[in-house]
Structure formats: structure tokens, C-alpha cells
Structure 1
Amino acid sequence: MEIITIVLLLLVAVIVSGIASRIVPLPLPRPLFQIALGAAIGLVANWRVELDPEIFFLLFLPPLLFLDGWRIPREELFKDGKTVLELALGLVIFTVLGMGLFIHWMIPSMPLAVAFALAAVISPTDPIAVSAIAQRVPIPKRMMHILEGESLLNDASGLVCLRFAVAAALTGAFSIQTAALNFLWVAIGGIAVGVGVTWAVARTKNWVSRQYGEDGGAQVLISLLIPFGSYLVAEHLHCSGILAAVAAGITMGFVETRGEVAAATRIRRTGIWDTIQFTANGIIFVLLGEQLPAILAGATNTVRLTGHHEPWWLAIYVVAINLGLAALRFLWVWLSFRLTLFRSGEWRKQPNWRVVAAMSFAGVRGAITLAGVLTLPLAMADGSAFPARDLAIFLAMGVIIVSLFVATVGLPLLLHGLTMPQEGSQLAQEDKARVIAAQAAIAAVEKAEHAMADGKDDADIYVAAAARIMDSYRLRIESREGDAPERKSRRHIERIEIELRLAALKAERTAIFRLVRKRELGSEVARKLVRELDLLETRYAG
């Protein structure tokens, strides 16, 4: 009963934090509200959430990484693929090595393997936190795509590095050759498992749907199980479950381009996944805040692990680690931009320091860092306590909070008036796609109309109905073709029509609810009508 109460309280805290982030006029991202609310709960409540690290990893990471891979713009990811790989792989290894040595030098009492493990968990960035900041201060699209691609891959690479560091801490031995071969097996095997499981499940469910019809609820449930299945299969084969979840998400994006899922199922599935993403990320940050009071209360004992007695030394270490992360990231991004300019033949041109600084400030740590650090083992193989675990958790949490505050303050200043390189317009592609789709629709309506009216006495009715539908598609084609001024005028008219249609849909919905309140319309019919109006409003408002 207590577990259920705790879960419900965490869910309520996530809801309240979302409301507070919209009410409070300060430009603070939602994760900071969730951390603060969790800390308040930790101060007044007499319970503590203690999750087994493996269970915590399994519950939260596979769905979040799967969804990131599923929804990331694949074209943008491949367009800036070199930059993304340089940040997601090169920067992670650079950060793990540099920060691991720096942390061990700064805190000699922390074993080198544990220092590398801490460096591995603080190396991945969190796009959710950056997106929350971007709601108040718009981040250029291309920069956001690079950050999303980086976070998608560096989550996996950082956590794989964590796995090796923990293994070294537990066994006391580390071989570069063995680690390299193991890394190849872990990485390639994890990717293969994610692709294979998703492809096999998708082919099977599509065959079943074609043969026996589609069950929307089952389709949604299958999409929820794929990341967990990929993760568990990969871990059973001693591969990377994290990479399997990421690969499964990217593969899901390709599989979905076949368009074999019903529209209603897609709408329902999108809403469910949005809720899962909001809830899982929110709970992680609330849990972070909930554990802060206990961790701060134990700061006196934790600081003794470093050889000091004053708790304020921990704050110095947190600031120093954040400065080290920022310096390494700034250096790597600058070198990456210089390499890009060199490849393009502009080797004399210097990178824009504001762009480099903005990319550095955007390296916010969040849910993945917290989830990773909480998976540090509780005990060594001989049963003794894992060395400096509480200290590593404290420092990781401090890095998350400080990086959020720094990004909240620094990004708006750096992005104000910043001009990014001009991106190609996607309007022409959109217009071409809409014209081709409309032409295909006209051809399909003509074919269906001939088939339905063939041999029937009321064929004129079918012709008239088809004509009305085809006229709407011809109007779409005309609005996307012609001279630029003419298209601009037609789009202006379209915007006016959309506003009028939205007003009409809202009036329809209000009238339906009024009929329900007067008991002149049944609730079942009302739900059907309201859903139709909601779908139409989503179409026009989108």
C-alpha cells in the first residue's frame, strides 16, 4: 500500500510541477521545478524511495531512449552526421578520459575507476532539459537537431563507458585490448538486436493486421513493449541494452514510413507516448529532488571521503567539475567547427565564438546522468560497500542542478540576436508533397467513383459527390502552384479560412456539450462527434 501511495504522490508532483512552471513568471525550465518540488516532499515526508539500480535502469531508460530515436528527424541527423558523431562519440571519450583524471587528481580518495565511472555518467547531455529552456528562449533549429542527435548517441556511448568503468572497479583490472573487443561486441550486438527485434515485431504485427484486422489497443501495447524487449534480449546476450533501445527507436521510425498503422491508432499512440515521456522524465527529476535532503544531510559524512571536514568543499568540487566539463566541451566544439571549416576549404575562417559558447552551455545534464549514477553497485564482489558511491551520487546531482541553472541564465544571453547559417527552406518540399498527395487523391476518388456508380441508376449522385471532393483537392493544388505573389495571397486566404474553420469547430463543440447538459444528446454519440471535431481541429491547428 505504501508503494502505491508513493507512486501516486510522485505522479501528482509531476503534474503540479508542470502547472507551476507555467504559472511562475521566471524563465526557469520545468526540471528545476520538479527538483524543488521533490526536495519539498523529501523534507516533509517520512519515506524514501529506494530502487534497485537495475530495476531503475530498466523502468526509465529503454522507453525514453527508444522514443528519442523514434522521433528524431532522421534527415537532419544524417545531414549533420559527422558533427553529431564527433560530439556523441569523440567528445564522450574525451570527457571521460579528461574528467576522470581530473576528478581523481582533485579527489585522490576516489578510486580512479570510480572517477571514470562518474565522468561517464556526467558526459551525456539531456535534450529534454534543453527543450524546456528553449520554450522560453528559442534555439535555432539546426543547433537543436545537432543537440538532439548528440544526446541520442552520447547516452549510449556514455553508459557503455560507465559499464566498463564499473567492471574495472569491481574486478580491479582493465585491459584496453579486451575492452576494445568487448566494446565492439557490445555496440554492434546491441544495435543488431534493436534493429532485428523491431523489424521482426513490425513485420509480424503488420501481417496479423492484414490477415485478421487491426486492434488499436494491441498496436499501442506492442510499441510500448518493443524497447523493453530489445533491452532485455540485448542484456541477455551481454550486449548493450541501451544501444538496442536506441537502434529500436530509429528502426521504428523507418518501419512506420510504410504507413500500415491506422490513423486513429497513431493518434492514440502519440498521446500515450507523450504522457509516458512527460511522466518518466518528471518522476526522475522529482526523485532527484526527493533524495536531495537525505544526501545533503549526509554531506558531513560524505565530505570526509575526500579528506576534508567542511561540507562546503563539496560545493567547490561541484563547481570545479562543471567548469571542467564546460572547458572540455568548449575546446572540443571549437576544434570540431575548425575541422568542419577546414573540410569545406574555409580554413582561414574562425568559428563564431557565440555559437561555440552556446553549444557548450547547451550541454545540460539531466535524467540520463541521474539514472546512470544511481545504477552504481551498492557493494563490491566481496560484499564490502562500493567505494565513494555516495560522493559520486552527490557530485552527479550537483552537476545536474548547476548545469540547469547555468544554461537557464547563459543560453538566453548567448542566443539573443545570434544568427545561425542560413538553412534551406522546406516550403518547396512541403508544397511538392501536398500537390503530389492531392493528385493521388483525385485519381483515387475518380477510380472509386467509377467503381461505385457502375451499373447504378443514381450514378449522378456519385459523380456529384466525387466532384465536390475533387474540387477541394484541386483548390489545394492551385494554392501550391503559380507565381510567388499569387501563392502568398492564396496562403493568406487559407490562413483566414483556417481561423474561420477553427471558430466554427469550437462553436460546434460548444453546441454539442450544451445538448448533453440539456440531456438532448446521449454521451456515446457526443463522444463520437467531439472526437471527429477534435481530429479536424488538430488538422487545421497543426
Structure 2
Amino acid sequence: MEFVIPLLALIGVIVVATVLNKKFPRVPLALFQILLGAMVSWLPFIPLTLEFEPEVFMVCLIAPLLFSDARVTSRKELWVYRKPILFMALGLVLITVIGLGYAIHMLIPSMPLAAAFALAAVLSPTDAVAVKSITQGLPLPSSLMPILEGESLLNDAAGIVSFKVALAVVLSGVFSVQAATFNFLIVSIGGILAGLICGFLFVKLRLSLRQNGFEEVNSLVAIQFITPFVIFIIAEELAVSGILAVVAAGIIHGIERDRLQQTSTKIQITSSTTWSVLSYLFNGFVFVLLGFLLPEVVHGLLMSQEISIMVVLGFTLLISVGLFLIRYIWVYVLHRNFAAIEGHETHGEADNVSRGRYAFLTATCGIHGTITLATAMSIPYALSNGTMFPYRNTILFISAGVILLSLIFATVVLPLALRHAAHHVKDEKSLLSIQEATQLILQRTIQLLHAESDQGHKRATFRVIRELEEQRRMMEEGKASRLSSSVLRKLQEIAREAEMKKLTEMIEQGEVSSQLMMHYPVISEPQELYTVRSNLRRIWFGYKMYWMKKKLKKLSSAQLPPKIASRTKKMTEFVEELHRVKGGLRQAAIQAIQQHMTPDNRYEAMFMIQYYARLQQATLSEEEEANFMEKVSEVRLLSIQLKRDLVQKLEESEQITPATRLKLLQNMNYEEMLLLDPA
């Protein structure tokens, strides 16, 4: 219980911090998490000291975080901005580890050089998640965020590999430039190869299971969930970088999702939701843990007397300034490689920044966070000979201080540095109305569904896309609220008369039985109400009819008394007969509506024709229809999730008000309720 209670408390803090961040969006989520984590550490029922096994901390926290980031990183942007990303993720990390390492050793001569390098490696990774939480709504140059995200992914791996090399030197006490360089290359290249091979094998395993009929969604997602942990352990057992292996495997899994298109919609939804929750908890956990451990770090520093608290505060400030200057100078010198990117076009005033301003913004966005603290926490308490790790408490304190300073500095400086561009953008960009936001969301959802449709769900995806296109078309023409019920009912009467006339002809010609004439009006009557309902109500009606058919089918297969069985058989034959002739009846209805179309009723007539055209699709068997409707349900749920994500992005970019966001989400919740509860 000594571990469970703090764990539950930290998870609760993550949720509370998120609520506060939504209430006060200008304060970064990470700062709320750190502050609340520190407050929780003072609660009387929470133990002050927690011991972490470094290897367990690495495999349980860092591995899934980097795998998740690599999995969702855009391969296209990685390729387009590959040159500046590599300059930042590899070149800058190397300069930082060497230059800052020697500077730290000069500041603290008693700290071994290898330990100073380890501290510099700890401070080299940046955190794109923290950057996003601070810069949302701010007009950064359009190329900057993709570069920061790519840098964050790759410099995490480069920084951690450098850290492990330096850590090995501290633990062994032996240092050689040639040996360290050779070890770095072997560990790095070996980690990448191990990740690519293992990642491919895991993808192949899941695809093979699906191809052999294994469609258990939870099991397939569970295999994906354990992938980073297994790959990290395998790579470490092979004495190569588990971190680089996990990043490579994450990219392989991203390619599987984007290009192979072999994953069903249901698996995509479950996988996306699972990783979204885990990434949220893991990222939040590290910042909350930082606040939670701050009192312990300060207490440990005071008790160990490694260095004076005031002196280490001064060193923390100097190291933070040094990190900023190294980053600024690096980007300033190499600015041509950031600005002149083939295929990149500027997108307004935010992109028209000077060389010095671009370097300043990039340096300010070099926020440290999750990986920095997680790596620092993985430092062992003792060396192999049993002595304490040199300056462990000092390293932890400086790491925590640099994280806090980078967060606070960016929070204060970025809005001030970008206030002119922000005012300019706000003057040009007005808030979207709920109609405009809905139309934009529909358009983007259609594009995403087109991109994510796989072979097994192509027909179902196209059906949902047609529904969304109909909604969008109605909104574009501005007639969604001007549909005349009286005109619709008149057209319905015309269509019904045409159907009855056609049915009479078929009876007279002996194509169908006469009993169909008596029952058809009763069966077709609900369709009149159906066409004037909203899209959500039509989905509701469709699901009711679908589940009613399933219940009738189940009833017909049950053991019934002879009299009831005979009636059921007659009803089944009647339904089959109706199913056979309804195509001709609907075609007659379409022709009648077309003949009565006028400029005054054109929109209502087109609405009715589209409705009958959808019903005119090729008929399916009961089993095929059940499978098809299940796939349609999955795609509709996916479309709702895509809409929610788009609403979140619109709010983060300050294109909609909180009230508009709430109304949009309420509509989506209602739509989801209808899909999940068809009874």
C-alpha cells in the first residue's frame, strides 16, 4: 500500500491539473502538475520517500512514451524537415553534451567529468508536449513546430544513448575517447536495427493473426501495447540501445497504420484510444512526479551536503542560460538550413521572421520535461563498488530546476515575443460560428475517412462519407433549415402513388401475389416519416429496423408450435417477395418525383431522389447485411472520434469559443448515444 496510495494520488493530481488547465489555459498544464505534485507530497498519509529501480523506470515509462510519440509522428514531416531535425537532434545534442559537460565540470570541479557529461546528456532532450501546451494559439513560424516535434523524438534517443555511455564510464571508472565513440556507434546502430527487425516481426504477427481469422480486438491491441516493453528488454539484453530500438519500432508501427491499411476500424479506434490515455497518464505522471519529488530532492541535497543550496541554485541558472545560448547560436549559424527548405512555403506574417528572431524563438521553445526527469531518475543510487553515485542529488536538483526555469521562461516570454503577430492574426481571423465550425469539421472528417479507409471497410466508409457529404451539402446551400415538410409530404404522396401503380401492374402481370397490395402501404408508411427526420433520427430508425430484422430472424429459427411456425413461414416468404420487387417500386418512385420536379421544389425533390437512390443499392443477404451494418457502425464511431479530435484542435487554435465547443460535443455525444443504444 505504500506504493499504491501515492500512485493513485498522482493519477488523481493529473486529472485535477487538466481541469485547472482548461479553466486557466494560459498556465501550462505541466506547471499545474508540478505544483499539485509538490502539494500532494506534504499530505500526512503520503510517504515522503519513494525508491525507484532505474531499469524498471526506464522500461515502464520512457519506452512506452517514446514508442507512442514515434508511432504518431508524421513520416512526411520527418522527411521534409529531415535536415534541420538531424542538425538539432544529433549535432546539437553532441555539442551540448561535450560543451556543456566541460562547462559543468569547470563549475563543479569535484564532479567527475563523466558525471558532468551524464548531466549534460540528461539536459539535452526537449519536450514537444510541453511546447504545445504553451504555444497553442500562438503564431509560431509554420516550419518550427514540425522541427521541434522531430527534434524531440530523435534527441530523446540521442540524449539517452549519450547518457548511458557516460553513465557506463562513471560506473566502470574507465574512459577512452575511441572506446566511447565506438560504443556509441555500436549501441546506436544496433538499437536501430533491433527495433526495425523486432517492430516488423510484431507487425507481421498481428497481421498474420488477422489473416488467419483471429479478430479479437483486445488481444491484438494488447500485443501492440506490450511491444515497446518487449523490444526494449530484447535490445538491452543484446547490449544495444533499447531507446533507439523502441523509436524505430514505433516508426514501423506508424507506417503500418498509414500505408498497409490492414487494421480494422474497430482496432484503430481501440488502439488510438488506449495509447491516447496511456500517453496522457505517462506524460502527466512524470511532471507530477517532479513536483512530488522536489521536497525529497531538496532534502537529499541538504542532508548529503554535496553542495550549498544557494550555490546549486546559481549553477542551475547558469546552466539554463548556457543551454539557451548554445541552442540560439546553433540555430543562428545554421539558419539557412531552417529557412530554405525545398517545398516549404511561407504562410503569412508568422513565417516572415528575421534570422535572430527565428533563433530566439527556437531557443525559447527548447523546453525540457518528461525525458529529462525520467532519465535523471534512472541514475542509480550507488556504484558497483557500493559507494554512492557522485553528486546524484545535485544532478536531480539541477535537472528539476532547468525543467522549471525552461517552462516558466517560455510561458512568460513566448506570448510577449509573439504578441504583435498574435494581434495581427486575431484581427484577420474571426471566431467560427457553430455552423461554420460544423461545416469545417464535416469537410475535414470526410478527408480523414478517405485517407484511413481500409479494404475491409471500403463500402461502409463510402456510405458514412455519403451521409457526411449530404450534411455538408445541405449546410453549404443554406437550406438545411428551410426544408418544407408540406412539400416533402406532397412528393412522398406522388412517390407512393407511383409505387402502388407499379405494384398493381406487377400483380396484374402475375409477377407478385395480390396479398402484397394489402400489406405494402402499411410497411412503407414509416418511410414517409423517415425522410423528414434529421440525420441522427434516420440513423436511429435504421438501427431499430436492423435490430428488428435480427430478432425476427432469431424467432424464425426457433422451435415454434406448428400453427405459429406456419404463420412465420408465410411472413418470411412475404418479406422475401417484398425484398425482390422493392427495387422496381423505388425506381418508379424516382421517375415520378423527377417528372414533378419544379424550380420551387427542386431541393426537396433532390432530397427525396437521393433517399430513394440510397435504398436502391444492391441487396444483401441477411448475414451480409448484418456484417455490413456492423462495419458501418464502426466507421460511424470512428467519424465521431475524428470530429471530437477536430473540435479539440479548433479550440486549441482559438477558432471557436468554449460555448461553441460544448455545443458541438453535446451533438456528438447525442449522435454516439444513438449509435451505441439502438434498442
Please report the TM-score for the alignment, with normalisation by the length of structure 2.
0.63
Matched with 1:266 is 268
Matched with 1:49 is 50
Matched with 1:287 is 289
CA distance in 1, matches of 2:400, 2:112: 19
Provide closer, same or farther for how the CA distance between residues 505 and 372 of structure 1 changes in structure 2, counting only shifts above 3 A. Answer: farther
Amino acid corresponding to residue 537 of structure 1 in structure 2: I
Whether 1:365 aligns to 2:368 is: yes
Query: CA shift at 1:169, angstroms?
Result: 1.3
Kindly indicate whether the alpha-carbon contact (under 8 Å) linking 1:62 and 1:231 is maintained by their aligned counterparts in 2.
yes
CA distance in 2, matches of 1:435, 1:343: 30
CA distance in 2, matches of 1:112, 1:155: 22
For residues 145-203 of structure 1, what are the alpha-carbon distances to aligned partners after superposition, in whole Å with 9 as ceiling and x for unaligned? 10000011000111111111111112222112222222221111111111111111211
Amino acid corresponding to residue 277 of structure 1 in structure 2: S
Kindly indicate whether the alpha-carbon contact (under 8 Å) linking 2:449 and 2:465 is maintained by their aligned counterparts in 1.
no
Amino acid corresponding to residue 383 of structure 1 in structure 2: G
Partner-residue secondary structure (3-state), 1:129: helix
Partner-residue secondary structure (3-state), 1:44: coil
CA distance in 1, matches of 2:454, 2:91: 46
Matched with 2:321 is 323
CA distance in 2, matches of 1:248, 1:164: 22
Matched with 1:394 is 397
Amino acid corresponding to residue 195 of structure 1 in structure 2: L
Structure 1 residues 240-389: aligned runs within 5 Å = 240-256=241-257, 257-301=259-303, 304-306=305-307, 309=308, 311-338=309-336, 351-389=354-392
Matched with 1:517 is none
Provide closer, same or farther for how the CA distance between residues 239 and 23 of structure 1 changes in structure 2, counting only shifts above 3 A. Answer: same
CA distance in 2, matches of 1:338, 1:365: 25
Matched with 1:198 is 199
CA distance in 2, matches of 1:439, 1:70: 19
Partner-residue secondary structure (3-state), 1:212: coil
Provide closer, same or farther for how the CA distance between residues 532 and 157 of structure 1 changes in structure 2, counting only shifts above 3 A. Answer: closer
Provide closer, same or farther for how the CA distance between residues 491 and 153 of structure 1 changes in structure 2, counting only shifts above 3 A. Answer: farther
Structure 1 residues 21-40: aligned runs within 5 Å = 21-24=21-24, 27-40=26-39
Provide closer, same or farther for how the CA distance between residues 440 and 94 of structure 1 changes in structure 2, counting only shifts above 3 A. Answer: closer
CA distance in 1, matches of 2:51, 2:94: 31
Provide closer, same or farther for how the CA distance between residues 134 and 395 of structure 1 changes in structure 2, counting only shifts above 3 A. Answer: same
CA distance in 1, matches of 2:38, 2:468: 59
Query: CA shift at 1:299, angstroms?
Result: 4.1
Partner-residue secondary structure (3-state), 2:381: coil
Whether 1:7 aligns to 2:7 is: yes
Whether 1:404 aligns to 2:507 is: no
Kindly indicate whether the alpha-carbon contact (under 8 Å) linking 1:438 and 1:473 is maintained by their aligned counterparts in 2.
no
Matched with 1:83 is 84
Query: CA shift at 1:298, angstroms?
Result: 3.9
Partner-residue secondary structure (3-state), 1:314: helix
Provide closer, same or farther for how the CA distance between residues 504 and 376 of structure 1 changes in structure 2, counting only shifts above 3 A. Answer: farther
Provide closer, same or farther for how the CA distance between residues 312 and 200 of structure 1 changes in structure 2, counting only shifts above 3 A. Answer: same
Amino acid corresponding to residue 277 of structure 2 in structure 1: T
Query: CA shift at 1:436, angstroms?
Result: 8.6
Larger Rg: 2
Amino acid corresponding to residue 159 of structure 1 in structure 2: I
CA distance in 1, matches of 2:221, 2:445: 32
CA distance in 1, matches of 2:111, 2:176: 21
Alignment equivalent of 1:537, drawn from 626, 640, 643: 640
CA distance in 1, matches of 2:29, 2:467: 42
Query: Unpaired runs of 5+ in structure 2?
Result: 343-351, 423-443, 484-532, 542-629, 647-679
Kindly indicate whether the alpha-carbon contact (under 8 Å) linking 1:69 and 1:246 is maintained by their aligned counterparts in 2.
yes
Moved more, 363-372 or 44-53: 44-53
Whether 1:493 aligns to 2:476 is: yes
Whether 1:106 aligns to 2:107 is: yes
Amino acid corresponding to residue 327 of structure 1 in structure 2: L
Partner-residue secondary structure (3-state), 1:43: coil
Matched with 1:18 is 18
Moved more, 75-84 or 209-218: 209-218
Query: Unpaired runs of 5+ in structure 1?
Result: 420-429, 449-467, 480-489, 512-527
Query: CA shift at 1:505, angstroms?
Result: 6.8
CA distance in 1, matches of 2:415, 2:468: 45
Please report the TM-score for the alignment, with normalisation by the length of structure 1.
0.78
Kindly indicate whether the alpha-carbon contact (under 8 Å) linking 2:449 and 2:639 is maintained by their aligned counterparts in 1.
no
Kindly indicate whether the alpha-carbon contact (under 8 Å) linking 1:99 and 1:119 is maintained by their aligned counterparts in 2.
yes
CA distance in 1, matches of 2:362, 2:206: 41
For residues 66-116 of structure 1, what are the alpha-carbon distances to aligned partners after superposition, in whole Å with 9 as ceiling and x for unaligned? 111111111111111010000000000100111111111111121111111
Query: CA shift at 1:410, angstroms?
Result: 1.4
Matched with 1:459 is none
Kindly indicate whether the alpha-carbon contact (under 8 Å) linking 1:49 and 1:287 is maintained by their aligned counterparts in 2.
no
Higher relative contact order (CA 8 A, sep 6+): 1
